[in-house]
A = this chain, B = another copy of it.
Amino acid sequence: MTAKQIYLAGPEVFLPDAREIGARKKMLCEEFGFVGLYPLDNGLAAAPGETADEKIYAANLALMREADAGVFNLSPFRGVNADPGTAFELGFFGALGKPVFAYTNAAAPLFDRVAASHGVHGAPGGDFCDASGLLIENFGNADNLMLDGALKAQGRRIVRPDASSLPGLGDLTGFMACLRQARLHFGF
């Protein structure tokens, strides 16, 4: 059997040690019997008339279409929410119906994170809003319900760390939990 290919999505591509983390993720994939597809592995020579960002976009799309599954790092990025590029890619996989696995390195649910950083007030109908009057989703989810929903629709959850732990953006504990889920999913 050819090894299943897993697309490795997440904002760690913005970390100074992005390539090292990618190499570690790919090595872990191999240990679990998978092949990891990491965005930064793309050759990035832009075609004539194509800008660098368009080239990266096209290369990532090609990797996503090639992958059998995706593992998504939905840790908060520059704020309370997941990186929108990673969210985009989760939606892309959702539409293709491919298996998705996800983790976050934030222990607290979205509601608590927003309340802590943007304030919390009661709103009509038993709802809650932040100090700007924006509704705060209160479903106990790790992030926006569309992100958690993509996992729940496949019978899974976004993997979260223990409340006591404070893993950094590049911590791979949750990533390994996702690989174990993926192995169960693919039946080996």
Contacts and interface: CB of A to CB of B under 8 A. Distances in A.
Interface of A: 11, 13-16, 18, 51-54, 56-58, 60-61, 77-85, 87-96, 114, 118, 123, 129-130, 133-137, 139, 141, 143-150, 152-153
A86 to B, nearest CB: 8
A133 B11 CA distance: 13
19 contacts: A13-B135, A14-B135, A15-B135, A16-B123, A16-B133, A53-B137, A53-B149, A54-B153, A56-B145, A56-B149, A57-B150, A57-B152, A81-B81, A82-B84, A87-B88, A88-B94, A88-B147, A92-B95, A94-B95
A147 B14 contact: no
Given A84-B143, A89-B146, A149-B54, A18 B96 contact: no
Nearest to A52: B139
Given A91-B91, A146-B89, A83 B83 contact: no
Majority secondary structure of chain A interface residues (helix, strand, loop or mixed): helix
A57 B149 CA distance: 6
Given A15-B133, A54-B152, A95-B95, A80 B79 contact: yes
Contacts of A95: 91-96
Nearest to A143: B84
A161 B123 CA distance: 31
Contacts of A51: 139
